[in-house]
Structure 1
């Protein structure tokens, strides 16, 4: 049976939740994290950045994430696809996480 955990978070990173995610991952000797969820450019990106900074091998299943269109500082609407794409670029170029598809992740797991 695979170890599981349920995190109650109160901010935009799962690493600031209860119980302590990093502590649990360390205790379970888990070094690889795969993320998905809502909002790509907020909670997913923040959790991925922290995960990478904490030394975990982090992958974001990009097609299993979602975000919403938002207004920029000038009040102009930025569409959700653009925000998600920018998050993917930020994470991959900043060496925080690998960004790929769910299909690729599943194929890699099957080939282990």
Structure 2
């Protein structure tokens, strides 16, 4: 079998998945979703936006750059997904990284006052 391109695996392809990761089937693709270590989560949280408002605000709970850090997807891969597929990936990221997303929710709540 030939290797998958750009972070996607076609159904039936074999891969090695790190212990702190899951594989999420999105359409015909398999996406690896990683559990971040505390240092990676801290770095991601502290990262500054590249200024792309669309990427930062399209989805409430996650920036496009965050998805790239938590998954096997490249930025181009994410661009090829439909919004409903991206929401599936975000749900898997939340499953793997609940503390990171809980922190975001607490900060949003705190910011609202």
Greater RCO, CA 8 A, separation 6+: 2
Identify the structure with the greater helix proportion. Answer: 2
Q: State the TM-score, normalized to the length of structure 2.
A: 0.28
Q: State the TM-score, normalized to the length of structure 1.
A: 0.29
Identify the structure with the greater strand proportion. Answer: 1
